[in-house]
Amino acid sequence: MKRQLPLIVVAVTAVIVMGVKFIDFGDFGAATIKELDTWSQVTYEFAFLLGAINLTRLHYGNVSRRRPKWVYSVIALIAMVIAAIVTLTNGVKGEVTLFIVDNIANRIDSAIYALLGFYVCSAAYRSFKLKNLEASLLLGAAVLLMLAQAPIGDAIFPGISKVGEWILTVPNSAGMRGIRLGAGIGAYAASIRVILGLERSWTGS
Amino acid sequence: MNWEKLQHIDIRILYVIILLCLLIPMFKPIGLPIMISDASRQVYETIENLPDGSVIWVSHDTGPGNAPELNPMITALARQAFRKNCKIIATALFNETVGPTLVYNHINEVAQEMGKEYGVDWINLGYRINAEATMKLIVDNIAEGALGVDWNGEPLDKFPIMQEVKSVRDDVDLLFVTTVGSPGYSDWMQYVAEPLKKPLTGGASLTMYSGVQHYIRSGQLKGFLGGLRGAAEYELLVGAPGKGCAGMDAQSLGHITVIVFLILGNIGYFAARKQRQQATY
Amino acid sequence: MTLLAEETVEGVFIFGPGMLWDFILIASLFVLVFVMIQRARAGLPIPEIRKIAGLEAIDEALGRATEMGKPVHFSPGMSGFGSEMYAGLAVLSYVAKMAAQYDTRLIVTTRRPYIHPVASDIVKQAYLEAGRPDAFNPEDIRYVSEWQFSYTAAVMGIFQREKPAANLMIGYWMAEALVLAEAGAQAGCIQIGANTNIFQIHFFIVTCDYTLIGEELFAASAYLSKDPMLTGTVVAQDMLKLAVGCLVVIGTIIATVKGDAQGLIDFLSL
């Protein structure tokens, strides 16, 4: 039953959602979706609690057993406790909460994102090799677009930005549309497998 | 010389060089000319062709990471819009913590410079949870979608602009949306622009830009700005070079550095391959 | 089709506005899947799925980790419960069974808190089935953070500290795709990536050793399980794709000949 129940919940919910989406039930349809959204939100909040417990257990274990680099776990635990206390006492939009979010969380977030700039370079340096025709095409397109996207490209090769624009709008669009179409229909089929209970590995079976 | 080593240069050297190439032009700009792309020109002309006094819905759907690419677009848009006496209704549906503040700061800076008043010429409705539901609600009732208050919690009734602008369907003339993910341009297109046949334009981070091309070609997007380059082009079209243009020299040097390292890496690769072949014979 | 959904005020028959063709599309897929299931049950031949290098490489990646005595890192992606997540979890199920058999440590990280208990259950069950329940370590199944880049930073930390021999990122990935894949490459992992996000897929192609592009992710569970019924659904999906492809060609011809295909668009927007 432990394995069957999730499958039943998924199938019943899917039938309800598809029913109210496809068939015009008027206000009843909208109210049903809203109700399901609320249930989903409540479940989500409970899951957060589970996540917090898991996180605490993991980091507490690291600290108590003095695992390598356990000091980072101390930082994680302190940050978690402070964030929880501040948010609960000061509110989600409270001044102190927003200060922490704006000046610590968002700054760290931006810094991690900014690594992208460096990692693009090292990934390109390591991977773009003229090994075969496909790799050469990839390399050629990358170099051309890098030049096209920066003013120096036009300064060295006048008109290269127009070539870059053409690559983006024609061959690139064609490829993207193909992947999108395939992935979209693939997602439909994957959902049907789950709804029909054919795909049940996520239940642990 | 052992050319093989060129494909194993310490990655930290590359990082330091990239950092310098990005930093130096910010202090000492080179001032390379910037070509304007068709897509950026289309954005500018779409807004320019609006009648004076039109209402533009601006959604700055960005997170903290991409903000430097997209913020200059909002500044330039505000400048072009206010110059035409257009009114702006702003939201930020992607990120609760940074979006509303960023959109406020960037529009407010231009508004103060051009003598435009908050609540009369523009308003910030900020972030609302569940973007899809919000978009569907504002189609016919902006106040309902915004839960009756602006981002500071002030009731919408007290703002003159909201007396004139009640729904997107009847009162908004154009949507300008910045995008880094979802919610983003595709949601605005699906729930608002297409059903209401409203023109939709804006800009995306460079990573996402390659994926919007077919919508530009199909006319579902009236042009779109691509990353910092797009922002710089738009700034030039608006006639107010700002942070977008300032970042272009850094981008140029950064790209050239990567290309140089690609060449070095490939020289190393071919040298190693040649040596392997010689060893085989 | 849904793009123009609300343009039509009245729906056709009992369907909501713009929902007729959505319904026909889904119903067709259901019918095709049903037919394929019946064929599979009757023992009739079902076309095989072509070789997918990224999925073949999973065994190689786990073998490498086992030989090196290092862990394997697996993540089912950044999305919530959706088709990509289910596909990712199906691959996790396979990977966990292999890891349990090989006695290889498996570290699973999740971004969504509600995915964590599901992932944990999948891995636990795999160890039970392998007859080694004592080898299951709940602390290796980790909920990390809801924040995109906090998750990224934490996983980068895992790469640096625990030096996994293999990194499997199977699901839906956004701006963190390159940061994680490059961090994995620098840590010396053999990497298999899968993504349906067209804005990020190229980063995996460049940085990962093997990449599942778009729909290949959705074929993973059928491919790995070799279950004829699941394979039948992939065949059904391909048949529908063919039909949609034909529609694209028809639309292109009409648009080329007539100048626009608005009539077809309106018809498909019913």
CA distance B165 to chain C (A): 21
| Digit-coded pLDDT (tens) for B13-50 | 999 999 999 899 888 888 888 989 999 999 999 999 99
Note whether C226 contacts A: Cβ–Cβ < 8 A: no
* Residue A88 CA neighbour count, 13 Å, CB half: 6
| Digit-coded pLDDT (tens) for C48-105 | 889 999 999 999 999 999 999 999 999 999 998 889 999 999 999 999 999 999 999 9
Q: Chain A residue with minimal CA distance to C93?
A: A201
Indicate the pLDDT class of residue C10, thresholds 50, 70 and 90. low
**Predicted local distance difference test score (pLDDT) of residue C72:** 97
| Digit-coded pLDDT (tens) for A12-30 | 999 998 888 888 887 888 7
Interval A57-86 mean pLDDT: 93
Q: Chain A residue with minimal CA distance to B270?
A: A130
| Digit-coded pLDDT (tens) for B127-177 | 988 888 889 889 999 999 998 999 989 999 999 999 999 999 999 999 999
Q: Chain C residue with minimal CA distance to B136?
A: C6
On whether ipTM exceeds 0.85, the answer is yes
- What domains can be seen in chain C, in order of their start residue? 19-48+229-268 (no CATH), 53-218 (3.40.50.720)
Q: Number of A to C CB contacts under 8 A, please give it.
A: 202
Co-location of B44 and B72 in the same domain:
yes
Cβ–Cβ of B207/C198 closer than 8 Å?
no
Co-location of B101 and B178 in the same domain:
yes
CA distance A77 to chain C (A): 12
Note whether B117 contacts C: Cβ–Cβ < 8 A: no
* Residue B9 CA neighbour count, 13 Å, CB half: 25
Cβ–Cβ of B180/C6 closer than 8 Å?
no
Co-location of B128 and B258 in the same domain:
no
B174 φ, ψ (degrees, to nearest 5) = -155, 150
Buried b (16+ CB within 10 A) or exposed e, C232-269: bbbbbbbbbbeeeeeeeeeeeebeeeeeebeeeeeebb
Co-location of B71 and B97 in the same domain:
yes
- Give the sign of the dihedral formed by CA A116, CA A121, CA A123, CA A124: positive
User: CA dist B265 to A118, A122, A147, B82, B172, Å?
Assistant: 16, 11, 18, 50, 53
Co-location of B262 and B217 in the same domain:
no
Note whether B213 contacts C: Cβ–Cβ < 8 A: no
Residues 6+ apart with CB under 8 A from C257: none
Co-location of B91 and B49 in the same domain:
yes
| Digit-coded pLDDT (tens) for C109-121 | 999 999 999 999 9
Torsion of CA B234, B237, B238, B241, to 10 degrees: 70
Note whether B98 contacts A: Cβ–Cβ < 8 A: yes
Note whether C153 contacts B: Cβ–Cβ < 8 A: no
Co-location of B235 and B262 in the same domain:
no
Residues A26 and A17: their CA atoms lie apart, in Å, by 14
Cβ–Cβ of B190/C2 closer than 8 Å?
yes
Co-location of B21 and B152 in the same domain:
no
Co-location of B63 and B186 in the same domain:
yes
pLDDT at C11 over 90: no
Interval A51-79 mean pLDDT: 92
Best mutation target among C1, C4, C6 (most B Cβ atoms within 10 Å) is C6
**Predicted local distance difference test score (pLDDT) of residue C4:** 42
Can you give B123-150 as a three-state secondary structure string? EEEECCCCHHHHHHHHCCCHHHHCCCEC
pLDDT at C3 over 50: no
Indicate the pLDDT class of residue C7, thresholds 50, 70 and 90. very low
Residues A187 and C217: their CA atoms lie apart, in Å, by 9
Cβ–Cβ of C148/B190 closer than 8 Å?
no
Residues linked to residue B155 through DSSP beta bridges, in sequence order:
B149
Preceding amide of B183 cis, omega within 30: yes
Residues C4 and B107: their CA atoms lie apart, in Å, by 32
Residues C212 and C193: their CA atoms lie apart, in Å, by 6
Q: Which domain holds residue B254?
A: 3-29+250-280
Q: What is the CATH number of the domain that holds B177?
A: 3.40.50
Tokens encoding A118 = 């460096």
Q: Chain B residue with minimal CA distance to A114?
A: B65
List of chain C residues whose C-beta atoms are within 8 Å of the C-beta of residue B208? 199
pLDDT at C13 over 80: no
Q: Chain B residue with minimal CA distance to A165?
A: B37
Q: Chain A residue with minimal CA distance to C208?
A: A127
pLDDT at C169 over 90: yes
CB atoms inside a 10 Å sphere around CB B66? 27
B165, B177, B178, B168: which is closest to B137 by C-alpha? B168
| Portion of chain B with pLDDT greater than 70, in percent | 99
**Predicted local distance difference test score (pLDDT) of residue B281:** 67
Note whether C69 contacts A: Cβ–Cβ < 8 A: no
Co-location of B20 and B151 in the same domain:
no
CA distance C234 to chain B (A): 26
Domain count, chain B: 2
Q: What's the whole-number average pLDDT of chain C?
A: 90
| Digit-coded pLDDT (tens) for A88-122 | 998 877 889 888 988 898 889 889 999 998 999 99
Co-location of B95 and B181 in the same domain:
yes
**Predicted local distance difference test score (pLDDT) of residue C9:** 54
List of chain C residues whose C-beta atoms are within 8 Å of the C-beta of residue B207? 175, 199-200
Cβ–Cβ of B214/A177 closer than 8 Å?
yes
Which of A39-53, A60-74, B180-194, C172-186 has the least mean pLDDT?
A39-53
The beta strands (E) that lie in B77-209 are given as: 87-91, 122-126, 174-179, 200-204
Residues A110 and A103: their CA atoms lie apart, in Å, by 11
| Digit-coded pLDDT (tens) for B61-92 | 998 888 999 999 999 999 999 999 999 999 99
Question: Is residue C50 classed exposed, middle or buried when 0-12, 13-18 and 19+ CB atoms within 10 A define those classes?
Answer: exposed
Cβ–Cβ of A176/B210 closer than 8 Å?
yes
Co-location of B140 and B51 in the same domain:
yes
Going by the DSSP 8-state scheme, the letter that residue C82 receives in this structure is: S
Torsion of CA B151, B154, B156, B159, to 10 degrees: -110
Residues 6+ apart with CB under 8 A from A103: none
**Predicted local distance difference test score (pLDDT) of residue A49:** 87
Indicate the pLDDT class of residue A46, thresholds 50, 70 and 90. confident
Note whether C199 contacts B: Cβ–Cβ < 8 A: yes
